[in-house]
Structure 1
Amino acid sequence: MNKKATVLDTSAIRRSLTRIAHEILEKNKGVDGLVLVGIKTRGTPLAERLRRKIAEIEGVEVPIGEVDITLYRDDLTNMNESKEPDLKETKINEEISGKTLILVDDVLFTGRTVRAAMDAIVDQGRPSQIQLAVLVDRGHREFPIRADFIGKNIPTSHEEVVVVELEETDEQDQVSIYER
C-alpha cells in the first residue's frame, strides 16, 4: 500500500477529541447518566481519552467500558473454519440499563462494526439511548448508521484505506490514507 496523505496528526486528534467531549456534554446537558464504551481495539483508548477530557471540563469521571464485537460480526461464518476467532473480553462494569451510552470507535465505514457493537451492548442491558462518537467518518455506509459526534469527515474511495494509529496501540498518533 502507498501512503497518500496524513490527514490528522497528534494535535489535530487532540483538538478533535476536545471538541467531541464538549459536544457530548452539550447534547446531553452534562454527565448525568452517561457511560462511555469503546469498541475494541482503537475505540477503547479513544473512549479513555474522552473520559479524561470530560473530567477536565466537568470535574467528574464518567463510567467507561469496552466491547468486543468478535462473536457479533456478520462475517464470522465466512472465516476459514480452522481459524478460531480472536476473542477479547467485553468489560462494562457499570449498569447500562436506562443510561445514555456513548459508543466510541476510530473509523465509521460500512456501519457493520457499529451494528455488531450495538448487538453486544443490548446483550448487557437496555440503555435509554446509544449515541455514536467516531474519530473519522469515511462514508460508504451499508447500514443506516450515522455518527452523532465526528472528529473529521474524510471522503474516500473504496480503493483507499484509512489507518488510525494511536499512542496506546501503535506508539504514535496519526490518521493516514493509503492506496491499495
Structure 2
Amino acid sequence: MNQKALVLDEQAIGRAMTRIAHQIIEKNKGIEECVLVGIRTRGIHLAKRLAVKIAEIEGSPILVGELDITLYRDDLSIKTDNQEPLVKSSDIPFDINNKKVILVDDVLYTGRTVRAGLDALMDIGRPSAIQLAVLVDRGHRELPIRADYVGKNIPTSGVEKIVVELLEVDHADQVCIYEK
C-alpha cells in the first residue's frame, strides 16, 4: 500500500476529540447517566481520551468500558482463514442498564463493526440509548448505521484505505489514506 495523504495529524486528532467531547456533553445536557464504551482496539483508547476531555470540561469523571466484538462479527469465517479467532474479554465494570452508552470506534466504514458492537452491548444489558462516536467516517455503508459524533468525514474510494494510528498502540497519532 502506498500512502496517499496524511489527513489528520496529532493536533487535528486532539481538536476532533475535544469537539466530540463538547458535542456529547451538549447533546446529553451533561454526562449524568452517560458512559463510554470503546470497541477494541483503537476505540478503547479514543474512549479513554474522550473521558479525560469530558472530565476536564465537566469537572467530574465519566465511566469507560472496553468491548470485544470478535464473536459477534459476521465475517469471522472470511477473516480468520480457518484459524481460531483471537478473543479478548470485554471489560465493562459497571451496569449499562438504563444508561446512555456512547459507543466509540476509530473508523466507521460499512457499519458491520458497529452492528456487532450493538449486539454485544445488548447481550450485556439494556441501555436507555446508544450513541455512536467515531474519529473518522469514510462512507460506503452497507447497513443503515450513522454516527452521532464524527471527528472528520473523509470520503474515500473503494481502492483506498483509512489507517488510524494512535500513540497507545502505534507510537504515533495520525490518520492517513493509503491506496491498495
Please give the TM-score of this superposition, normalised by the length of structure 2: 0.98
Q: CA deviation at 1:94?
A: 1.0
Q: Which residue of 1 aligns with 2:91?
A: 91
The answer as to 2:127 corresponding to 1:119 is no
Q: Deviations over 1:134-166 (max 9, x none)?
A: 000000000000000000000000100000000
Structure 1, 92-101 or 71-80: larger mean CA deviation: 71-80
Match of 2:81 in 1: 80
Inter-partner Cα distance in structure 2 for 1:34 and 1:128? 10
Residue 63 of structure 1 is matched in structure 2 by 63
* Unpaired segments ≥5 residues, structure 2: none
What are the within-5 Å matches in structure 2 for residues 1-180 of structure 1? 1-78=1-78, 79-81=80-82, 83-180=83-180
SS in 2 for 1:56: helix
1:27 to partner: Cα distance: 0.1
- When the two structures are aligned, how many residues end up with a matched partner? 179
1:73, CA displacement in angstroms? 0.4
Residues of 2 paired with 1:2 and 1:25: CA distance?
Answer: 38
Runs of 4+ in 1 over 6 A off after TM superposition: none
Q: CA deviation at 1:104?
A: 0.2
Distance in 1 separating the partners of 2:139 and 2:76: 23
What secondary structure sits across from 1:13 in the alignment? helix
Q: TM-score, normalised by structure 1?
A: 0.98
Letter in 2 for 1:41: T
RMSD of aligned residue pairs (Cα, Å): 0.6
CA distance in 2, matches of 1:34, 1:60: 12
CA distance in 2, matches of 1:99, 1:164: 29
State the alpha-carbon separation in 2 of the partners of residues 123 and 23 from structure 1: 28
Structure 1: which 5+ runs fail to align? Answer: none
SS at match of 1:30: coil
The CA deviation string for residues 39-84 of structure 1, in whole angstroms up to 9 with x for no partner, is: 0000000000000000000011101101001000001233433x11
> How far, CA to CA, are the matches of 1:5 and 1:88 in structure 2?
33
Give, in whole Å, the separation in 2 of the partners of 1:20 and 1:44.
15
